[in-house]
Structure 1
Amino acid sequence: MKELSWTYLWLSFLVSSMGDWLYRLALPIIILQKSGSAYHAAATFGVSFIPWVLFSLIGGSLADHYAKKKILILGNLGAIGASLFLIFVLKSPHIDFSLLYLAVFILASVDPLIHPSFQSIIPEIVAQDKFAQANAVIQTIDNTLSIMGPLAGGTVVMILGGANVLWLDTFSFTVAVGILWLLPSSSATKSRKTIIRNLRFDIVKGVKYSFHQRVIFSGSMMFLLTNFALNMFEANFIFYMTKTLNYPLINATIAMSIGGIGSLIAGILGSQIVTRFRAGILLSSSTIMAGLSTLLLLLNTNYLYIGGILGLVSFFGTINVITYFTLRQRTVPKEMLGRVVAVTRMVSYASIPVGSWFGGLLLSHGHPMIVVIMIAGIVRTLAGVMAKFSPLGREK
């Protein structure tokens, strides 16, 4: 029964992730086509991560006290409505950016509310000795799509147009709801009134636990710096490839697809690597290597070379994620896991809007992408060095 439940969970993740890839590709392309603004493209990307700071703790508390299956289903239903609103906004010949930011914010608010449930439901349907393998499967799915998604998604965007592609994203949420419905219902949970009444207490308890667990908190601080650096570059990638380097969209998506190969390899080998090396060494070393690899982007602007370097960066980044998720699931009590996932994700994601905005701001003020890449590589490398000398770096 557990194996079947796990199959339903990763199938729903696969379907919704396919839709997300189309959305992530289509949105900046639509903005660049209609406005030509790198700033608005990067700012929109950053807005999509603000809800992680605002709503993660609520999502964590819900995950620990409410039926996770219901949260996942209701979240995807909400995403359908938000996606339809976004399509309506983008149908206009001229983008109303205030409405666009609102639509993106609403759609992005779904993830922080349901992600803790997704992460914390894994220990309920997977044996403890299979945690690393389960996380590797999720990362493998994500990373396989990072290879196929850009090329296939870019082709679909060019054929159908960006706004029309968003209908496929809406459809993916609908299919995900149908799959999640097949999950077994969990045992009785607290009433809604009780959950709402105890929400503040639960959040405070989750925050205190997360901050007092020095290893877990050190990891979230490492990801805070890592995400700042990563999204300085990632939020401006399409602009860099199509506007700065003047590559056609297909070349940009080929580079992204090549970059996804590194993630795929890491996902396949992740469970073996995580079980053979100390978590602290893996986390600090992979962060340092990802930062140094980012600096290699300064040496060449050929799109195939860029793809290869992105592959290196994504390999180390994926090993990093699998290691940390496994460490967190192994060390945090199940009844606290949802809130800890929420707190650590909130802290680590707080820098994404700032990094996206800062990278776009540098470009809009005439600074070359070389400056963005250099800052991103240095910050990520230093994050790994700091992690090495933190409690995280000493973790077994």
Structure 2
Amino acid sequence: MDPTSDRVAWRRFRRLWSATAASNLADGVLQAATPLVALTLTRDPVAITGITAVQYVPWLLMSIPMGTLADRVDRVLLLRIASLTRAVGVGLLAVGLVGDHVHIAMLYGSALLFGLAETLYDNTSSALVPSIVADHQLERANGRLQATYVVANSFVGPPLGGWLFALAIAAPFALGAAGYAVALGLMLLLPAMRRKRAHEGVTASFGSDLKEGVRGFARSPLLIALCVLLSVGNLASSATYSLLSLTVVERLDATAATYGFVLAGGAVGAFLGGVYGDRISGLTRPGTTLLWTTVVSGLATVSFGLAGHPVALSALMALDGFVVMTQSVVSVSLRARLIPPHMLGRVTAVFRTLSTGASAVGALTGGLLAGALGLSWPFFIAGAIVVALGPLLFRWLGNTRISAAMTERKGMPEPRAPEEAA
């Protein structure tokens, strides 16, 4: 390990880290404000959860092309484009709200635009992190990014968004646009990364690159099993979390500001999971960590439907946030080590098409179940499915299989040539 190289790598990572913090703060503000705007227009659970579903549609349709693009184009440039798109889009929505031109179609259109930008941003940033930090820094970097995501996106953002919404309906969207603009400015300080195409295996054809990414995913049983685990988890989370605003306001008869408090509870737990997830996961082997975090998350989700007070719901959110974030630190690092660097964008995009795209199905399913059975039933059903999933998938995600896959991966020859600052 070269201390000088480590310091340079971490200095570059801090620039990405800072930009991500500003962007996620904007995400968090809008996360609370958007459903509150929707509640002023309708109380139909399907219409409200449909906004979440639309935001995840690009993950189903565009994730793989976006990931292929991330393996062919300067990744820093793509991050700048995604930030610019979100800044302009949210700014236009804020202007519309100031003029009192409020229609639910605006929220659906904005959700689709944000989803497209998020698909580009997340696939690109996932591929960029392993390129700028050393392998032994990977868990630390992922943990810091996850913790930042939680603090900005969930802990600070939602309460701030709810407070700003109470002041003026357009205020959280104006702040969100400013946050994305700040992120863009910070990314301009991050040096562009030249792609060493000849050494990283980037072919002349975009289509052949895309197909290679699909084949790379399909050839790894461990990646497929990990993808199934996260897909079901995301489906369950989307089916339940998209109903939290209705649960707080209607079933618990609380205020809109209380909704931000409930989300903040989950953020506290997730922040601790992001900061200490690498240490917690180090106490057990990766497969064991994936198992116990899955089971605990499922039990917490079932309990959401039983909570009778916002404080209890917030505490359960904290528990779920902690175990889900710990699982995320393990799974993201494991995925990065299993995929060859020159294919990281493409294979990760295939992975996320399925895992994140499942959130669109989950949001619609949660709304339909709530409309047919009541607000508590989506929590009961989703939690039970997640609890049952853990032991079932442990057969394919056991420690022995993970160790064998990692040994095989290290023995594979590859022309690794990391990206260089332009």
TM over 0.5, yes or no? yes
Shift of 1:188: 5.0
Q: Judging changes above 3 Å, is the alpha-carbon distance between structure 1 residues 181 and 211 closer, same or farther for their aligned structure 2 residues?
A: same
Distance 1:104 1:128 in 2: 35
Distance 1:199 1:299 in 2: 50
User: 1:24 and 2:28 equivalent?
Assistant: no
Once structures 1 and 2 are overlaid, which stretch shifts more, 182-191 or 59-68? Answer: 182-191
Residue 370 of structure 1 corresponds to 376
Residue 380 of structure 1 corresponds to 386
Shift of 1:160: 2.7
Paired amino acid for 1:218 = A
1:214 touches 1:392 (CA, 8 Å); kept in 2? no
Q: Given the two structures, how large is their TM-score scaled by the length of structure 1?
A: 0.93
Instruction: Choose which of 11, 14, 29 in structure 2 pairs with 1:7.
Output: 14
Distance 1:2 1:182 in 2: 15
Shift of 1:391: 4.1
Q: Judging changes above 3 Å, is the alpha-carbon distance between structure 1 residues 259 and 103 closer, same or farther for their aligned structure 2 residues?
A: closer
Residue 331 of structure 2 corresponds to 324
Residue 408 of structure 2 corresponds to none
Distance 1:98 1:159 in 2: 23
Q: Deviations over 1:257-286 (max 9, x none)?
A: 122221111112111123342212211221
User: 1:243 and 2:250 equivalent?
Assistant: yes
Residue 268 of structure 1 corresponds to 275
Residue 234 of structure 2 corresponds to 227
Residue 222 of structure 2 corresponds to 215
Instruction: Choose which of 212, 217, 223 in structure 2 pairs with 1:205.
Output: 212
Distance 1:20 1:140 in 2: 14
Q: Deviations over 1:84-124 (max 9, x none)?
A: 34335555757544453233212210111122221111122
User: 1:142 and 2:149 equivalent?
Assistant: yes
Decide which structure has greater helix share.
1
1:214 touches 1:391 (CA, 8 Å); kept in 2? no
Identity rate, percent: 23
Query: What is the aligned length?
Result: 391
Shift of 1:346: 0.7
Where structure 2 has 5 or more consecutive residues not aligned to the other structure, the ranges are: 1-7, 404-422
Structure 1 segments of 4+ aligned residues over 6 angstroms from their partners: none
Where structure 1 has 5 or more consecutive residues not aligned to the other structure, the ranges are: none
User: 1:357 and 2:364 equivalent?
Assistant: yes
Shift of 1:151: 2.2
Q: Deviations over 1:14-46 (max 9, x none)?
A: 000000111111110001012233221111011
Distance 2:369 2:98 in 1: 30
Q: Judging changes above 3 Å, is the alpha-carbon distance between structure 1 residues 382 and 88 closer, same or farther for their aligned structure 2 residues?
A: farther
Q: Does the residue aligned with 1:277 lie in a helix, a strand or coil?
A: coil
Matches within 5 A, 1:125-204: 125-145=132-152, 146-161=154-169, 163-188=170-195, 198-204=205-211
Matches within 5 A, 1:241-320: 241-320=248-327
Residue 118 of structure 2 corresponds to 111
Paired amino acid for 1:317 = V
Distance 1:136 1:110 in 2: 23
2:80 touches 2:187 (CA, 8 Å); kept in 1? yes
Paired amino acid for 1:369 = L
Distance 1:103 1:133 in 2: 34
Once structures 1 and 2 are overlaid, which stretch shifts more, 71-80 or 129-138? Answer: 71-80
User: 1:120 and 2:132 equivalent?
Assistant: no
Q: Does the residue aligned with 2:140 lie in a helix, a strand or coil?
A: helix
Q: Judging changes above 3 Å, is the alpha-carbon distance between structure 1 residues 87 and 260 closer, same or farther for their aligned structure 2 residues?
A: same
2:303 touches 2:379 (CA, 8 Å); kept in 1? no
